[in-house]
Amino acid sequence: MKYILMMNTMKAGQGIPNWAGKDLQAHIAFMMNLNKDLRDSGELVSAEGLSFPDQARLVRAGKNGVPITDGVFPESKEFLAGFWIIDVDTPERAYAIAARASAAPGPGGAPLNMPIEVRPVMSAPPPEMM
């Protein structure tokens, strides 16, 4: 079963650019180690970090499908900072991996305990919708 693990943060990067270099290195090393373990176990489909929200755009189709872009976001909105797509046998395994990602170290090495949203990926649209 495929799952997507979504790491959301409030506002731009939650201050990550202001972390000490050592803290940032420890955080990235933790994430790279997690990704390596998932790759070794054959459970990693993909993992990506997203650029900061200042580059994010909201697009709607205008007349004739011309894109209308909007870069203004309320400060309170949660932003997707990155995600993992994993292929695991059980939901419990997906939750265990999410918990490991949640415990990634922040400033001073303390676990961030970030909330990670876990969603099953649909295999395909139901036949009646095709």
Partner 1 sequence: MKYILLMSGTKGGVDHYQAWSQKEVQAHMAVLHSINKRLSESGEFVATQGLAELKEAKVVRGEKNGIPVTDGVFPESKEFLLGYWIIDVATAERAYAIAGQISAAPGPGGVPTNMPIEVRRFATFEQSGSK
- Residues in touch with partner 1 (CB under 8 A): 2, 4-6, 28, 31-32, 35, 38-39, 44-52, 55-62, 65-70, 80, 82, 84-85, 91, 95-96, 98-103, 111, 113-122, 125, 128-130
Minimum distance from CB of 91 to partner 1 (Å)?
Answer: 8
Q: What is the distance of C-alpha 49 from the center of its chain?
A: 7
Minimum distance from CB of 7 to partner 1 (Å)?
Answer: 11
Positive or negative, the CA dihedral 29, 34, 37, 39 is: negative
Residue closer to partner 1 (CB basis): 2 or 11: 2
Report CA Rg, the chain.
Answer: 17
Three-point CA angle 78, 36, 20, nearest 5°: 55
> Is 37 strand, coil or helix?
helix
Minimum distance from CB of 19 to partner 1 (Å)?
Answer: 13
